[in-house]
Structure 1
Amino acid sequence: MLNVGQQLLLPAKPTFIWGSLVGALALGMMGNFVLWGRAPWAPDLLALTLVFWGVHQPRRVGMTGAFLFGLLMDVHQGSVLGQHALAYSVLSFFATAVHRRILWFPVSGQALQVLPIMAAAHLVTLAVRMMLGGEFPGWSMFLAPLIEALLWPVATLLLLLPQRRAPDPDANRPL
């Protein structure tokens, strides 16, 4: 049931969904090289996009897609093969499991609901790294889920824009 003033969204096109995931992967790769390097506090834009589509379109983006994007991220970062794949699979599972509950909240409340999911993914990555003898990246690593939760309203605004178009193109066209 729609709330008063809430807009009915058009269906998301699969090309836009997968294009946004590839774009988030590319942005994440460029961010790693140009902006912040391999800083542990850097937000994972691909994880944020995977959670968004896991919440809004759980049947289109599942654990298989998250696993494959995780493998691509592992290859890009030169980390242990499967580290990000496992974390993104856990992320996708939790996002799909609680997607109905998350959608009941306003966008600011959704950000609070997404925060533990993001934290779980970062903890899985940390656990795999530590089990294989890696170094602790520092306490600033725990800023990443907070930054990703703060970016949730921006991601929601940007990724829902194509669905907010007028269903009738003549509805808002000037004469």
Structure 2
Amino acid sequence: MIMRPGQPLLLPANPLFIWFTLIVALMFNMLPLGRLPWMPDVLAVVLVFWSVHQPLRIGVIVAFLFGLAVDVHQTSLLGQHALAYTTLTYFAITIHRRLLWFTVPSQAVQVLPLFAAAHAIELAIRMLAGGAWPGPLFLLAPVTEAALWPVVSVLLLLPQRRAPDPDENRPL
């Protein structure tokens, strides 16, 4: 792959670290903070991040299983989050090669429509099942998720940025 000038080489991602971050994001979503419509879905952000950076390891099936876990935890309509996460991951994998050419703030703008589409799917399923409109603050959730993208990118790429074997005679 041709890299942008000045972009450092990254170490391979540890699969245990990938799964650890997904489990931590799932547990963060399960915190009993109440159902606030503007709260960001941290698991969705982490799923998109890993499906963009490691599309062969984290795919649609993983997103479906995590979506079912969130559906069971929130006692929402079974499949609501599963469909949203599956769609979100599919489109993230679709654009992952193009997305990595942008800077991290530009990537946040590029993933904003993905997060908005995922929330629209969740809202449509909830409304079809007879749920109530969550209010206009619901529109802030994709924006806060896109605002979290640079923070998540920096934090989750930190273990890959360290030098495996520092040596002053070897530039890489």
Band the TM-score falls in, shorter-chain normalisation:
over 0.9
Residue 116 of structure 2 corresponds to which residue in structure 1?
Answer: 119
Superposed CA deviations along residues 95-152 of structure 1, whole A, max 9, x for unmatched, are 0011111111000100000000000100000000011111111111110000000010
For 1:163, the equivalent position in structure 2 comes to 160
Structure 1 CA distance for aligned equivalents of residues 118 and 91 of structure 2: 10
1:25-36 equivalences under 5 Å are 25-30=26-31, 33-34=32-33
Query: Secondary structure at 2:30's aligned position in 1?
Result: helix
Trace 1:120-159 onto structure 2 (pairs within 5 A): 120-159=117-156
Letter of the 1:101 partner, please give it: R
Letter in 2 for 1:124: I
Question: Shift of residue 4 of structure 1?
Answer: 2.8
1:67 paired with 2:68, answer: no
Q: 1:27 to 1:170 in 2, by over 3 A?
A: farther
Q: Which residue of 2 aligns with 1:92?
A: 89
Choose from 53, 56, 61 the match for 2:53.
56
Identity over aligned residues, as a percent?
A: 61
- Structure 2: where are the runs of 5+ without partners? none
Aligned to 1:6: 7
Distance 2:20 2:166 in 1: 24
Equivalent residue for 1:110? 107
* Mapped partners of 1:87, 1:166: distance in 2: 37
Shift of 1:5: 2.2
Alpha-carbon separation, structure 1, partners of 2:23 and 2:135: 29
Number of residues of Structure 1 aligned to a counterpart in Structure 2: 167
Q: Aligned AA for 2:64?
A: F
Q: Which amino acid aligns with 1:17?
A: I
Query: Residue in 1 aligned with 2:35?
Result: 38
Q: Hey, what's the Cα distance between the residues in 1 that align with 2:69 and 2:118? A: 16
Separation in 2 of the partners of 1:3 and 1:69? 33
Paired letter, 2:76: S
> Where does residue 23 of structure 2 map in the other structure?
22
Shift of 1:167: 2.1
CA distance in 1, matches of 2:160, 2:26: 22
Normalising to structure 1: TM-score of the pair? Answer: 0.92
The Cα of 1:6 is off from its aligned counterpart by: 1.3
Superposed displacement of residue 71, structure 1: 0.5
- State the AA in 1 paired with 2:25: A
Compute the RMSD of aligned alpha carbons.
1.0
Identify which range, 160-169 or 103-112, moves more after superposition.
160-169
